[in-house]
Amino acid sequence: VDNFPLGYPRYSALLSIDPSFFIFRRFSRLRMRLLLLKQVELARLEETLDKVDKEETDRLSLSCLLQDSNPERKWIIETATKRLEEYDKLIDEAERAINRPTSSERDVRSVKNWTKGNPCLARSETAYLNEGDDLASIAGVRDETIFRMESILEDFMPQRLCSGSRRSRRYTADPHVFFFGPRLQQMSRGLIAWMTILTLLVPIAILNSLASLIGRFITIVIAAGVVVFSMSLLTKARTLEVFMAGTAYAAVLVVFTS
C-alpha cells in the first residue's frame, strides 16, 4: 500500500486488500425518490390513456389494435413502454441493493481509522463512511457465526501478535496497520467446532451419569436452551429453523432418558 501515491491510488490499494473493505452506499433514499417519480409518471400516463379511451369516437380503434388511428393513444403507449422499462430496471436494481448485506461497524471503523491516520483524501469524499445503515458490502454474504467469532477473537487477541505478522508487513510498513489474515478464520472455525462438540456431547455424558428423572429433564431443558440461544445469537437462522433444530436436539436427548 505504501508504494502507491497518496490519494485515491493508495486508498484503492488498501480497500482491495480485503473483501470486507468493499463498502459502498446503497443510496436508498435517492433510489426511493426515483422510484416514486417513475411511479407518478406511469400513473399519469395510465390516467391519460383511460381518458383517451373513454373519449374515443371510433370504435374500430378500440376493437382492433392494428386499426388504431388515434395518434395520442399511440404516443401514450410508446411512452409508457419506455417508462415501464425504466421503472422495472430501477425496481430490480433497488431490490439487489436492498438485499446486499449491511457493512459491519467493525469494517467501517477500520477504514475510518485508516483515513484518519492517512489523511490523503478530501473529507467530503470519505464522508460516505458516516452513512451507517446505508452502507452495504458487495463482497457477498459471509458466515455470520464465523464473523462474530472472529470479532470476539480480535478483541481478545494481543495486537502485537498481528502487528508484526508477515501478512501485515507485506501490505504496509505502518506499525499501526495490521491484518489478521486467514489464520484468524482458521482459529474461529476450530473454536466453533470444539464448542459444537462440547454442546452436543457434554449433555449426553451428564444424562448417562444421572439416575434422577428430574435431573435428566432439567439437563435436557438447559441443553436445548443453550442450543437455541446459540443459534439465535451466532447465526441468522429463521425462527422456524431455530425451532426445528431445538426440537430435534431435545428429541435426541430424550432418547438417552429412556
Q: Tell me, what's the pLDDT at 224? A: 87
Show which of 65, 99, 133 is a domain's final residue. 99
Is residue 233 assigned to a domain? Answer: yes
Q: Tell me, what's the pLDDT at 144? A: 66
Is residue 1 assigned to a domain? Answer: no
Is residue 247 assigned to a domain? Answer: yes
User: pLDDT averaged over the chain?
Assistant: 82
Residue 92 sits in the same domain as residue 169: no
pTM, full prediction: 0.66
Q: What is the mean pLDDT of residues 78-96?
A: 95
pLDDT per residue over 151-204, tens digit each?
677 666 655 555 445 554 555 656 556 556 667 777 778 888 888 888 888 888
CB 164 within 8 A of CB 55: no
Q: What is the mean pLDDT of residues 107-134?
A: 90
Residue 84 sits in the same domain as residue 164: no
Is residue 112 assigned to a domain? Answer: no
Range of the domain at 249: 143-258
Show which of 99, 132, 153 is a domain's final residue. 99
pLDDT per residue over 11-57, tens digit each?
998 888 888 889 999 999 999 999 999 999 999 999 999 998 887 76
The larger pLDDT score, comparing residue 1 to residue 15, is at: 15
Domain count for the chain:
2
Q: For 28-40, give the DSSP string.
A: HHHHHHHHHHHHH
141, 212, 155, 211: which is closest to 184 by C-alpha?
155
Residue 147 sits in the same domain as residue 232: yes
Is residue 130 assigned to a domain? Answer: no
- DSSP structure class, residue 118: S
Q: Tell me, what's the pLDDT at 171? A: 59
Q: Tell me, what's the pLDDT at 84? A: 96
Please report, rounded to a whole number, the percentage of residues in the chain having pLDDT higher than 90: 27
pLDDT per residue over 143-152, tens digit each?
667 767 776 7
Is residue 4 assigned to a domain? Answer: no
Q: Tell me, what's the pLDDT at 164? A: 45
Residue 44 sits in the same domain as residue 152: no
Residue 91 sits in the same domain as residue 201: no
Q: For 127-155, give the DSSP string.
A: GGGG-GGGEEETT----HHHHHHHHHHHH
Q: Give the whole-angstrom CA distance, residue 193 versus residue 145.
A: 11
Is residue 210 assigned to a domain? Answer: yes
Please report, rounded to a whole number, the percentage of residues in the chain having pLDDT higher than 70: 80
Is residue 120 assigned to a domain? Answer: no
Residue 153 sits in the same domain as residue 245: yes
Residue 256 sits in the same domain as residue 150: yes
Q: Tell me, what's the pLDDT at 35? A: 96
